[in-house]
Structure 1
Amino acid sequence: MRKYLVILCIAAQVLVLGVMAGERELILATGERIFLRTAPIDPRDPFRGDFVRLRYDISVVAAGKIRGGVRDHAKEKGYPVYAMLKKGTEDLYSVDYLTDEKPGEGIFLRGRLNRDWRLGRTGSGVAVSYGIEQLFVEQGSGKDIEKRRGTRNSLQVPMEVEVAVGSGGTSVIRDFRWSRLGMSLKMLRFHRRDRNTNLDEVTEPLSPKLEITLQNVSDAPLFVVDPGNHCGFRMEPTARVSRQYSSVYDGCRNIQVSGLDLVELAPGEAYTVELDLTEPRWYMSVGGKTGEIGRYANNDSFRIVYQPAAVGITTPAEGMWKGELPSSAFTAFRVLD
């Protein structure tokens, strides 16, 4: 009798695996095809075997995009959620909102809440896994992929993963491509303090000075744009930050862009700027206070985002890169990823 039970259990497992494989193939053949941008991954998570670990921009969802009962279950690992997506530039999709109610229409991904020690504070975002966090690659190609993706303090080129999405939100990786534009962030200056530091007595700059480099990593020329007081860039808090920050600088509003603001980059060529975050251009408002992040946000994390579309170019040059590209995350005193 026991022998037959063992055979029955094995047969049931094989049947389940067959159904799962069949569903996967059906989604690959008929699912909606979208692209998702991967985010920098901690260099302590290396390439392992014949697959690459992936983390996406949508792997952490900011508190302002959470709906329904998700917040009440934020500490519950495995809680089912749905990420409603919206299409952006360069055919890339991002999260419009996260809910625990299955959407009736549109493109959405089914996922589950994940635990992330960096999201421990009330009011911060939530981490989500979608079942597409591993990319199987050709034998021996993983190291080359890692090298091209880059690491902290080096040029980072986002991998853009093509995903097939089923009607129920199940997603399957199809392929990947590389962003045509890469970015690096270096911290040229920083001031680290402790809890006992009296900021009024500090004479050194409190906020970092950053070096941002945009590099054309494609095989064809492309244009970038950075008019005015570096209005091609913005600074924003990461989804892991619980406090509500907003930029107070309005000098980029309705800025006029001319042909002189366009920078043509040949393949391999780079455009580099230095951004001093002590300057009013980068002041942020938080909790009723306004100033540089080094005064109010020593441990909160931010990104610099290259955003050519925000400067209002109505007739872009042929070859204009029109997406958004975030930098590595950083605090007032160190680079994080």
Structure 2
Amino acid sequence: MSLPNALRSPFLRWGLVALIQLALIAVPLADRLQVQMSGQEVVLNLRPVDPRDLLRGDYVILNLEIGRVPVSLQMQGEIFGEGDTVFAGLEITDDGSAKVVRLTRTRKDAGPLAIKGTDTGFSDGRVTVDYGIDAFYLPEGEGKEIERLPAKRVQVVVAIHPDGRALPLRLLVDGKTFKSDEVF
């Protein structure tokens, strides 16, 4: 079987290869943009740690307070296992940060504001949940500055899409933007 004349051209073949590569790059960016543009912004408390990534520079590990959820917040009758998808229903507190008020298996049961995560284990009466937003990248040298701050002074603003996907937008120190990771 022979190729049509149009596909025999090396320019067309290389052009198709380039389009496929661009599509592979664009898909994650489009997902990130969708969460940022249509997600609700929520402030989360965290405890930062400053490691380094040789390729990307400094970053702050986002050790979210909402990452350890008391078992008492699980919907009655629901039992989660390691690797299960869970939804943490959030409520905004008086200080403006979010806290978990329920943990469910479905987005619908979680309430109007919910973040999607994965159950990664259970200990000390708490379910550990990974929300997939565990690092915030900073320019070289700025990670050390964050590491020296008391944990209570550092927060992260995330965008939460209605389906539960989340994306870190800004790192806050004392309620003021320290670094922004927003696309627009």
Q: TM-score, normalised by structure 1?
A: 0.42
- C-alpha displacement of 1:65: 0.5
- C-alpha displacement of 1:19: 1.9
| Local SS of the residue matching 2:51 | coil
Deviation string for 1:144-202 (max 9, x for gaps)? 110113xxxxxx4341111111110101011021246xxxxxxxxxxxxxxxxxxxxxx
Residue in 2 that maps onto 1:63: 71
Residue in 1 that maps onto 2:52: 48
Distance in 2, Cα, partners of 1:47 & 1:136: 10
Distance in 2, Cα, partners of 1:68 & 1:19: 38
Distance in 2, Cα, partners of 1:46 & 1:162: 18
1:18 matched to 2:22? The reply is no
Distance in 2, Cα, partners of 1:110 & 1:14: 28
Structure 1 runs of 4+ aligned residues shifted over 6 Å read: none
Residue in 2 that maps onto 1:147: 148
Residues 73 and 103 in structure 2, CA contact (< 8 A), matched pair in contact too: yes
Aligned pair partner of 1:31 in 28, 33, 39: 39
Distance in 1, Cα, partners of 2:129 & 2:78: 11
Q: TM-score, normalised by structure 2?
A: 0.73
In the superposition, relative to structure 1, how do residues 71 and 142 fare at CA in structure 2: closer, same or farther (>3 Å)?
same
Distance in 2, Cα, partners of 1:125 & 1:59: 9
| Local SS of the residue matching 1:90 | coil
Distance in 1, Cα, partners of 2:80 & 2:41: 32
In the superposition, relative to structure 1, how do residues 24 and 64 fare at CA in structure 2: closer, same or farther (>3 Å)?
same
Distance in 2, Cα, partners of 1:79 & 1:24: 23
**Runs of 5+ consecutive residues of structure 1 not aligned to the other structure:** 150-155, 181-217, 219-337
- C-alpha displacement of 1:87: 0.8
Mapping 1:85-124, distance limit 5 Å: 85-103=90-108, 105-115=111-121, 119=123, 124=125
1:174 matched to 2:169? The reply is yes
Larger strand fraction of residues? 2
Distance in 1, Cα, partners of 2:31 & 2:77: 29
Distance in 2, Cα, partners of 1:70 & 1:16: 38
- C-alpha displacement of 1:36: 0.4
Q: Give the letter aligned to residue 51 of structure 2.
A: F
Deviation string for 1:272-329 (max 9, x for gaps)? xxxxxxxxxxxxxxxxxxxxxxxxxxxxxxxxxxxxxxxxxxxxxxxxxxxxxxxxxx
Residues 68 and 101 in structure 1, CA contact (< 8 A), matched pair in contact too: no
| Local SS of the residue matching 1:23 | helix
Task: Identify which of structures 1 and 2 has the higher relative contact order when contacts are C-alpha pairs closer than 8 Å and 6+ apart.
Answer: 2
- C-alpha displacement of 1:102: 1.4
Residue in 1 that maps onto 2:130: 129
Larger helix fraction of residues? 2
Larger Rg: 1
CA RMSD of aligned residues (A): 2.7
Mapping 1:279-290, distance limit 5 Å: none
Q: Give the letter aligned to residue 94 of structure 1.
A: K
Q: Give the letter aligned to residue 128 of structure 1.
A: V
Aligned-residue identity in percent: 22
Q: Give the letter aligned to residue 68 of structure 2.
A: V
In the superposition, relative to structure 1, how do residues 130 and 72 fare at CA in structure 2: closer, same or farther (>3 Å)?
closer
